[in-house]
Structure 1
Amino acid sequence: MNLRTIRSTMHAAALCGAVVLMATGCNKKVDNNMNFKNAIDTYYSAHPACLWPDSMKFPVQADVSDTSKTTPYDALVDQGMLERTTVEKTKLIISSKPVNNYDLSGKGRSLWTVDVQQPGYGNFCYGHRKVTSIDSSTPASSAVGATTQITYHYTLADAPAWATAAETQNAYPQLHADVSGPQVGHTTLTNTDNGWQVTGTDPDNKPATSADGKIVE
């Protein structure tokens, strides 16, 4: 075999290897870390991290003397997202107590993420998870219906200025954890006709939901 033949053979083998690699990389059903990462990133692109685990409706009231209730809202007042007024609330007809009334400010309304499933409700959201590494996965296959349990690290992308303020982070521990650096996440992925998708629970043990808010069975 002459030198030209050897070179031609090596070139053909390299091309074949590249074609196989590209085919594998483009197949969303293959059980590999790239597809697992893409599935988790896709899910969280439609499910941002938000201040409250459930949607809120404003205005709300909190007893002035109950700092556990007022402190988180006051942190948002400091960021210009809520407006605070103090009123007297009647108690047992013959007495009253001061309460703070909190409502969305103009700035707050511009930052508010509306809950399309509950008119009048919403949340303050502050970013999307981005997977930085797949740490472990249980045995799986490329067959439709296969499942795997994933442990991964993630960072939060696109955190706004109000979310990085010290007052807000002190008032909302989960926010502080999310924006302070890489965090560990756990999820279940299932192989579907369209590739791997999140179908399990997130670290807060909340059901996975589709982009329209419906729970994924």
Structure 2
Amino acid sequence: MIRLEHISWTVSGRAILEDVSVAIPSGTYAMLMGSTGCGKTSLLEIICGLRRPAAGRVVLDDVDVTALEPRERGIGYVPQDLALFPGLRVREQIGFAPKLRGLPLAEIESRVSHLAEQFGIAHLLNRLPDMLSGGEKQRVALARALAAQPRLLLLDEPLSALDESMRAEAAALLQRVQQEHALTVLHVTHSRSEAAALGTLHLRLTAGRLEVESQG
């Protein structure tokens, strides 16, 4: 379970997030919506540790992780721009987090191979990011996020860069990945149809405050 307790965050004296509190049960696919600039990305960055809240706590599975470094939180994060490393080949992208954690080479290679097969990118392992299509980059970014075997996966508008013909396939992939890896997912989107297709919990961020729109 992920629990946010009274999270606040300000920029230049302006409140972006105010007293945000919510509990997301384990195994939930939660959708987060809200207008552009309302703080959705900032909230994801606070959860994964890239920003420190001005107040409040982030609790994962009853452990307060607010002061922990990102790599210590057990969270996978796919930012909107995917943030692939320009100079690393696909196999190195996927193996980055396990290598950072000091896992044995054989285990890293096994994990990379398994995820590459699951995401249909085994034939791309020796390619650099600039040799990949938008859909291929998305799959690499997801595989990289899952290589650390996270409990929680944060997705910042993961389908926004894809054309309409690819979105249904990509949404089905996300749903399958969530189920196969037994993940809790928090997915930011502007698309109501995307939220309806994927989410079992629908959240909305408005004027710095978080509301539960629907659950089921």
Superposition TM-score tier, normalisation by shorter sequence? under 0.3
When Rg is computed on C-alpha atoms for both structures, the one with the higher figure is 1
* TM-score using structure 1 length: 0.27
* TM-score using structure 2 length: 0.27
Which has the larger share of strand? 1
